[in-house]
Amino acid sequence: MVCKGLYRALCIREKYMQKSFQRFPKTASKYLRNIDGEAWVAKESFYPVFTPPMKKGEDPFRTDNLPENLGYHLKMKDGVVYVYPNEEAASKEEPKPLPYPNLDTFLDDMNFLLALIAQGPVKTYTHRRPKFLSSKFQVHQMLNEMDELKELKNNPHRDFYNCRKVDTHIHAAACMNQKHLLRFIKKSYQIDADRVVYSTKEKNLTLKELFVKLKMHPYDLTVDSLDVHAGRQTFQRFDKFNDKYNPVGASELRDLYLKTDNYINGEYFATIIKEVGADLVDAKYQHAEPRLSIYGRSPDEWSKLSAWFVQNRTYCPNMTWMIQVPRIYDVFRLKNFLPHFGKMLENIFMPVFEATINPQAHPDLSVFLKHITGFDSVDDESKHSGLMFSSKSPKPQEWTMEKNPSYTYYTYYMYANILVLNSLRKERGMNTFLFRPHCGEAGALTHLMTAFMTADNISHGLNLKKSPVLQYLFFLAQIPIAMSPLSNNSLFLEYAKNPFLDFLQKGLMISLSTDDPMQFHFTKEPLMEEYAIAAQVFKLSTCDMCEVARNSVLQCGISHEEKAKFLGANYLEEGPIGNDIRKTNVAQIRMAYRYETWCYELNLIVEGIKSGE
């Protein structure tokens, strides 16, 4: 029964991933097919599509090659965008055959998982297995540590410094460190003091007038008065943390320096980001995946954001972009910006569908979307909505109350639209999107369960500590988790208590990320600082660090071509065969250990089922 439960759970994830062109490991699929008594066939068609790197001299903003208008019609039905071949089909409700989501099935699957994670025998089994994995790794370490090290020493020209690492979770609005922002503000004042940069209801202000209004002079500013760094005050206080986005506590400065949509069209923000990008290019082996916000408050957000991206030529070869959607429907509803939750979904997804169908009519957005690799869902997870997602939940267009929908509700509708969108884009030969929500930083375990069904990978995952079943499932499905122990240290969990090391030892697929260098980091190289502190506190070996770095490249949204370049041509293969030590500096002994251990656990399920338990 236990093994059947785990098997079904994995099948559920496999289904949701493959339908939406998100990733499910081949090895796990093979074991599932074995249980089904079916032959496994490799299908490349399941892979996500990322835009290949720009060719030398190619303009990342070129619009002369945008595909033609398909003339399709779009309609949002119960929170999901439906695609119709033409107007007639739309009126007849005959949508184009795409894998639309089925809410009832989703709820059934969800309820199955809900029951599974509460079952006693499953809990016992999944409590024991990760514990065993932990001890097994420690034995591996004692036996093979020196051999792993020897492999790395004999690996010419590659070490931790020149193996690729990706900052898999970073917010664009906090991607610079505090000192960088301070320097930028001072520099902007030197150059632009008399430039009109801000408009209030009464009048337009120059930079000088703005600072006079705020009663401060940039020369006197320090990182202390800037006050964007998280401190002891922010622990367990996500609300205070959010205020830290306001330099000197002034929302005007946040607006001027850290927003895309302002009087100067986000020029300063774009410049800072490009400076961060230039530092990455200088460092050569570091990449980042900054998130930009789409709020769903109004339908023109996408056109504004993409115009900002294109006009400021905010492009960097070492950056891939993501869209984060804050879960703040309740705020917008309270202020009457939105009539219902359905409108928010429409604002978030309809423009993307439109640009997918008729790219030439939306050149900026079409170009921007090429550089977008996924969607993130963000907000304070410790806030509880109190509303369970069930078949009785109001449909999005009926969700008119001021209360916020639950994490699961949000997640389902994000996933549902990405599912349809990806199918449509894949058909058109366009890049697809991953769903990579913040999940398990705090709050209920259901968040992690929902992500297990819908998300390609997640950020944080701390709460896997609390659910053995989900922890084991995340291991079996090798779901990537971008962990940010420094961020957690300032917000939710002290560094020494972070499960990073525990998860890594057990073989969960962990990467390291900075989250918000502006708030958490001190040095010029936030990602290196994150690795250095983890290495020191957790006493990581070089092999550990390079394994985490390799995980980060696998997890991220950079293109197939670059991944092959950074990890080796076989990177899509799992296990040691997929590892090119000359590029990754991960010992084959380690890779073999990981792969054997994983297969052993998968096989236990096969055996368990075959023996009828």
Beta pairing, strands 204-206 & 286-293: unpaired
Quote the least distance from Cβ 143 to a copy of itself, whole Å: 14
Q: In whole angstroms, give the CA distance from residue 6 to residue 116.
A: 8
Under a CB-based contact definition with an 8 Å cutoff, are residues 543 and 587 in contact?
yes
Report how far Cα 409 is from the mean position of its chain's Cα atoms.
Answer: 18
- Give one DSSP letter per residue of 442-467, joined into a string: SS-THHHHHHHHH-S-EEE-GGGGG-
Minimum gap (Å) between residue 535 Cβ and a copy of itself: 7
Active-site residue among 73, 229, 460, 521? 460
Burial class for 89, CB neighbours closer than 10 Å (0-12, 13-18, 19+): middle
SS3 of 599, please? helix
- Comparison of 56 and 232: residue with beta carbon closer to a copy of itself: 232
- Nearest distance in Å: CB 530, a copy of itself: 10
Token readout for 270 is: 């774009």
Residues 254 and 198: their CA atoms lie apart, in Å, by 12
User: Cα-flanking dihedrals φ and ψ of residue 284, to 5°?
Assistant: 65, -45
Q: How far is the CB of 565 from a copy of itself (least distance, A)?
A: 19
Q: How many residues bind a copy of itself (CB under 8 A)?
A: 47
Footprint on residues 178-207 left by a copy of itself (CB under 8 A): 179
Q: Single out the residue of 78, 159, 275, 330 in contact with a copy of itself (rule: CB under 8 A).
A: 159
CB closer to a copy of itself out of 11 and 537: 537
Judged by CB under 8 A, the chain residues 110 through 149 that form the site for a copy of itself are: 145, 149
Window 520-559: residues binding a copy of itself (CB under 8 A): 520-525, 528-529, 531-533, 535-537, 539, 541-542
Closest CB 183 distance from a copy of itself, rounded Å: 10
Select from 11-19, 155-163, 257-265, 345-353 the region that touches a copy of itself (CB under 8 A): 155-163
**What does the alpha-carbon distance between residue 158 and residue 145 come to, in Å, rounded to a whole number?**
18
User: Catalytic annotation on 460?
Assistant: yes
Residue 448 Cβ vs a copy of itself, minimum distance, rounded to whole Å: 26
Residue 172: is it exposed, middle or buried by C-beta count within 10 angstroms (0-12/13-18/19+)? buried
Which of the residues 215 through 254 are near a copy of itself (CB under 8 A)? 219-225, 227, 231-232, 235
Nearer to a copy of itself, 217 or 403 (CB): 217
Q: Which residues, at least 6 apart from 263, have a Cβ–Cβ distance to it below 8 Å?
A: 196, 197, 198, 199, 204, 256
- Quick check: 131 and 124 in contact, CB under 8 A? no
From 154-162, 287-295, 344-352, 425-433, span contacting a copy of itself (CB under 8 A): 154-162
Residue 431 or 490 with smaller CB distance to a copy of itself = 490
Please, which residues bridge with residue 77 across strands?
A: 80
Q: Which is nearer to a copy of itself, 80 or 504 (CB)?
A: 504
Work out the end-to-end distance of the chain between its first and last CA atoms, rounded to an integer number of angstroms: 7
Query: For a copy of itself, which is the closer residue by CB, 121 or 231?
Result: 231
Per the listing, tokens 């997929």 go with 578
Decide whether 432 or 542 has the Cβ nearer to a copy of itself. Answer: 542
- Supply the minimum distance, in Å, between the C-beta of residue 495 and a copy of itself: 6
**What residues from 483 to 512 belong to the interface with a copy of itself (CB under 8 A)?**
486, 489, 495-496
Which of 38, 64, 139, 157 binds a copy of itself (CB under 8 A)? It is 157
Bridge partners (DSSP) of residue 438 are 459
Do residues 563 and 99 touch, judged by C-beta distance below 8 A?
no
Residue 372 or 486 having the CB closest to a copy of itself: 486
Q: Give the nearest distance from C-beta 506 to a copy of itself in angstroms.
A: 19
- Which residues, in sequence order, are CB contacts of 37 under 8 Å at separation 6+? none
Fill in the per-residue mask, 577 to 606: x = in contact with a copy of itself (CB under 8 A), - = not in contact: --------x---------------------
Unique residue bearing structure tokens 């020369």: 219
Residues 6+ apart with CB under 8 A from 302: 294, 351, 352, 355, 365, 368
Interface contacts to a copy of itself, rule CB under 8 A: 145, 149, 152-162, 179, 219-225, 227, 231-232, 235, 486, 489, 495-496, 520-525, 528-529, 531-533, 535-537, 539, 541-542, 585
Return the active site residues. Answer: 460
